[in-house]
Amino acid sequence: MPTYPRAPVEFVRGEGCRIWDAEGREYLDFFSGLSVHNAGHCHPRIVAAISEQAAAIAGMSNLFYSEPAMRLTELLVSSSLGGRAFLCNSGAEANECAIKLVRKHAHGRGIERPEIISLDFAFHGRTLAALSATPRLAREDLFGPLPQGFVSVPRDDADALRAAIGPNTAAVMIEPIQGEAGVHPIADEVLIAAREACDEAGALLVFDEIQTGMGRTGTLWASEWTPVKPDVMTAAKALGGGLPVGACVISPELGEGLTLGDHGSTFAGGPICARAAIEALEILSDPELLAASRERGEEIRAGLSDHPAVSDIRGRGLMLGIALSDGVDSREVAAAALASGLVVNAPNPETIRLLPPLVVTADEVQTGVATLRDALDGRG
C-alpha cells in the first residue's frame, strides 16, 4: 500500500556512516534509517552476533528460556530504571505495553476510566492505542472509533499540563525531545510539572525514549540529563542494532508490572534480535563514544548556525533539528542534499532533521556540513 513517500534511491550496502546505492554510488548517512543505526551500518560486533545466533537457533517462543533475552533485559534494566522490562518488536508495541501497564496500575488504584495525557505534536506510534496518544494523526474520521481515555494538552505550557492531571489520570506520556514533530525539546519546567503533578495524583510518568534513547542525545538515555526520572520508559529504534526490538521498562516501585496472561508476543525477545540489541547497548554505552558524539553535535551546530537559510538549531547530541528561514522548503533542501550524496530528513516543511550514526567522524561531519551548506546556498 502506498503509505510512504519514497525517494528514488535504493541502498544496498552500508559501513559505518557510509552507504551505497544500487548503482554503486556512495552517500554519507545523516539519518541512520530513522535513528536505528546509531552504532553505524553493519557494525562488525553486531554482524558477528547476528550471524552466530542465526546459525545456532532462531528462537523457540517465550514458553521456554532464552539466554540472550535474559541478558538483554538485565543490561537494559540496569542501564535505565532498575526494575523490570517487557521485550517486544517495535516502538508502537513498546508504547502499547506501557499503555496497558499504566491502565492496569490505575485500575489497581480504583480508577474505572483511566486517562492518559500526551502533549500536542507528540508521536507515539501507529497502532490504535499509540495512535490515540498521537494527537495530530489520531483521525477519528478515518480510523474511528478510536480507543477512549486519551487527552492531549499544549506542549509548552506547564500550567495547562498541571491542570489536566487529576484523580483519573493514569499517566502522562512524554518524548523528552519530540522527534517527528521536528526535534522539539520539552522544557524543563514542563517535565518538572509533569513529575510533580503525577506524584500528587498517584499517576505515572512515561518517557517515550524510542528516538531519544540509545545515545542519540549524547547520553545513553535522555532521562539522564532531564531534571526528572520517569516511572516507565519505552525504547525501540536503535535498541535492536538495526533489527526490530522494542522494550517497556519499569522502575522497581512498580513491582512485577504486567503478570501472567496480561501480555505477550510471539517473536518478542527472539535470540537473533536480542543478540543484536545486546551488542548495540554495549557499543552505545561506551562513555568515550558518547563524549565524541556530543563533540560531533557541537561541530555540526558550529558549522551550520551562521548560514542565512538557518534560523535556529534545536536538539541535543546528535539529534538535531535545523530550523530553516521563512520560505525555505526543507524537502527541496533534503532532495538537493541527497543528489549530492548526503542523506538527511525533512520531518516537516520547515525543518531538516539530522540523526547521524554516533560513530560519525570529525571528517565526515565536515563533509556532511559542507554538502548541506551547498544544498542550502541561495535559499536563505
Ligand X SMILES: *Cc1c(COP(=O)(O)O)cnc(C)c1O
CB 101 within 8 A of CB 67: no
Smallest distance, Å, CB 237 to ligand X? Answer: 6
Smallest distance, Å, CB 74 to ligand X? Answer: 23
Question: Residue 348: left (phi > 0), alpha (psi -120 to 50), or beta?
Answer: beta
Measured from the CB atom, is 204 or 375 closer to ligand X? 204
* Contacts to ligand X by CB under 6 A: 90-92, 95, 123-125, 175, 179-180, 208, 210-211, 236-237
Report angle CA 177, 281, 283 to the nearest 5 degrees: 105
Q: Check 123, 150, 207, 231 and give the catalytic one.
A: 123
Measured from the CB atom, is 296 or 353 closer to ligand X? 353
H-run or E-run covering 100:
helix 91-108
DSSP string, 293-340: HHHHHHHHHHHHTT-TTEEEEEEETTEEEEEEPTT--HHHHHHHHHHT
Q: Check 30, 31, 86, 208 and give the catalytic one.
A: 208
Smallest distance, Å, CB 233 to ligand X? Answer: 12
Strands 150-153 and 115-119 turn out to be parallel
| Cα–Cα dist 55/52, whole Å | 5
Measured from the CB atom, is 72 or 310 closer to ligand X? 72
Peptide bond into 145 cis (omega under 30): yes
Neighbours of 378 (CB within 10 A): 8
Verify whether residue 229 is a known catalytic residue: no
Smallest distance, Å, CB 339 to ligand X? Answer: 26
Cell numbers found for residue 278: 545486546
Return the SS3 of 159: helix
Smallest distance, Å, CB 155 to ligand X? Answer: 14
Measured from the CB atom, is 134 or 251 closer to ligand X? 134
Measured from the CB atom, is 228 or 236 closer to ligand X? 236
Beta strands in 184-231 (DSSP E): 184-185, 204-208
Verify whether residue 11 is a known catalytic residue: no
Verify whether residue 188 is a known catalytic residue: no
**Which residues are the active-site residues?**
123, 208, 237
